[in-house]
Structure 1
């Protein structure tokens, strides 16, 4: 088990990349630290690895406080974005490099390397050097070097970012199967939400050094804790519109959207969130519909991403982005939409927090 307690890293009073982060990652759990560039996720990983020293907080691995231990004394294995393979060594020598430092017996080293090589399909590459390998092959060697160590914790720092889109998809599937069989916590850093959603058992969304939300991938997607999480997770991005309120309804253009009965007080303004895939074409029997004019159609293959302009009597224009089936086309035409209540999210204008 990996425990992070009130972790903080301060460089200067104005540069604090990690602010009071507390997380627990259990056996066989796959935690992804997800967030934009500069949110503190890579710094948090370096603190766990021992490559940085925390200003405050504790790092505990298997009930042992390793906060001030050297990286080599923590029994962790790290996979870097740049692979960090030794260019003058063969694949076999790269896989053995960490085991030689631990002074393992030769036969045990050979056995561990053989097991990992078979799992990762490296048998035919053992005598090649990194310069003779493709990006995907180098990535497998980097992962293999971590696996042969049999560490207490696996750390991965954006390991797929240097791969092209098709290869990234294949390696991502391989990683999911591979780490499902490992008896150790995994901490994975990425800014790619697809990787976070497909690989993880838990996701921690970071921004400005803080954990904005921690939970299962489906909860992060379906129940965002605040406006940042709602806007960051999901592609196409969630619609987030600040609307005036009146008579227990939010006003989108000249159309009223009933507010949830769970709201204790009625604010003057509220932020509506709804994902493009959840907006539906209105049916004749729908009571709450929104009429707008299509201003842009983007062909995504299976779907069209349609931008719909909604205007009120004061000539204010709001834009909704909607995913429609590919058999629905048209430009500069009017369209009637409905927003299913079960898929609408409401956020506080001032704090950005969810009001559900």
Structure 2
């Protein structure tokens, strides 16, 4: 096992395009770190630089106590699982899993022991004599993971390994990989664009955007305390409602004004953002913090329903508030009878709202 440290790591391509901008990231020994972000945010590029498959243009990468900038991939103590699994089609599962050990010239009995022990961990003992074309997607994925495990690496690298699986199998494999991490206690770095994978699997998550790390924290802290507008909008499904407006002083209290609507903020939040009165800001409220129940900390608003999505135990209600589109997440029983063009009073839980600076998009209300 080993910690991984990225210090001011950059990637600039020959045409001048800068893909990675001075990334600083420390991944603890034995930690499951997830790199998540939209397509094109350079999360896979960052992973490939850790692996040594991409040269870095600046900064340093450490695996354990070694700087690995100039060390070839095979000597970095890493094992990588790719999106397409990269299995040798002409080899059996047994041969695929044992190939790297054969290259290292390990004795046959040691190879046999390692392959069979790993196959047992992954539940693929019955597949060892099959070839990749005879396996399902989930079985191929487990073989690819097994091929990595037998190498006893210091660090596992996963590049969107579940993206080719169907939804039900992805859920199953998420659980299996999480259990595998707890069993092996090895450092794992996992790249995905799927925030559900990130939230359910990671000890910590690094949210990336345009080649920069926007925030690194535990899943729940990212959700409840987003450092900026991008993280707030990216983490969460449905995503946080983000509304443009300005802060005003109303009867000696701080309020958010959007169009003709004024929302008075709780004193605790108002105190933190009082220096921004008169300035444009972004107001954020998560869909589950909007409902029909009027309480002291809520603000009732009249909206016209445009779409109701029934998901089973919950419903997503999309409604218009003036020219703004808002999404609420309600218990399915609370959404019964709602339909297109209904006008209803919704309530914002103002103690749960977030205020973001309009220009630098940092969360002012933390």
User: Does residue 308 of structure 1 match 2:319?
Assistant: yes
Q: Which residue of 1 aligns with 2:361?
A: 352
SS of 2:272's equivalent in the other structure is coil
RMSD: 1.5
Q: Would you say 1:102 and 2:85 are equivalent positions?
A: no
Normalization by structure 2: what TM-score?
A: 0.92
Give the aligned partner of residue 337 of structure 1. Answer: 346
Query: Among residues 250, 256, 259, which one is paired with 1:250 in the alignment?
Result: 256
Alignment match of 2:157 (pick from 146, 155, 158)? 155
Counterpart of 1:10 in structure 2 is 12
Q: Could you tell me which residue of structure 2 aligns to residue 278 of structure 1?
A: 289
Q: Which residue of 2 aligns with 1:318?
A: 324
Matched-pair contact (CA < 8 Å) for 1:31–1:200: yes
Per the TM alignment, residue 287 of structure 1 is displaced from its structure 2 partner at its CA by: 6.3
Q: Structure 1's 215 and 75: CA in aligned 2 closer, same or farther, altered over 3 A?
A: same
Instruction: Encode CA deviations 1:103-151: one digit per residue, 9 max, x unaligned.
Output: 2222221111111110111111010000000000000000000011110
Question: Equivalent residue of 2:18, what SS?
Answer: coil
Distance 2:197 2:234 in 1: 14
| Residues 45-66 of structure 1: CA deviation (Å, up to 9, x unaligned) | 1101111110111111110111
CA contact (8 A) 2:297 2:349 kept: no
| Corresponding position of 1:292 | 303
Q: How far apart are the structure 1 equivalents of 2:218 and 2:7?
A: 20
Question: What is the CA distance between 1:342 and its match in structure 2?
Answer: 2.9
The CA distance in 1 between the partners of 2:310 and 2:299, in whole Å, is: 28
Give the secondary structure class of the aligned counterpart of 1:180.
Answer: helix
- Whole-angstrom CA distance in 1 between matches of 2:124 and 2:295: 60
Query: What is the CA distance between 1:252 and its match in structure 2?
Result: 3.9
Closer, same or farther in 2 for the Cα pair 1:290/1:105, shift >3 Å? Answer: same
Report the CA distance between 1:206 and its aligned residue: 0.5
- Residue correspondence of structure 1 range 39-188 to structure 2 within 5 A: 39-188=41-190
**Separation (CA, whole Å) in 1 of partners of 2:264 and 2:324:** 18
Q: Note the C-alpha offset of 1:12.
A: 4.1
Distance (Å, rounded) in 2 between the aligned partners of 1:353 and 1:141: 43
Return the alpha-carbon distance in structure 1 between the equivalents of residues 153 and 235 of structure 2: 31
**What's the TM-score, normalizing by structure 1?**
0.95
The match for 1:314 is none
Separation of aligned partners in 1, 2:288 and 2:321: 18
Listed as ranges, the gaps of 5+ residues in structure 1 are 312-316
Q: Which consecutive aligned stretches of 4+ in structure 1 deviate over 4 angstroms post-superposition? A: 284-287
User: 1: distance between equivalents of 2:17 and 2:166?
Assistant: 33
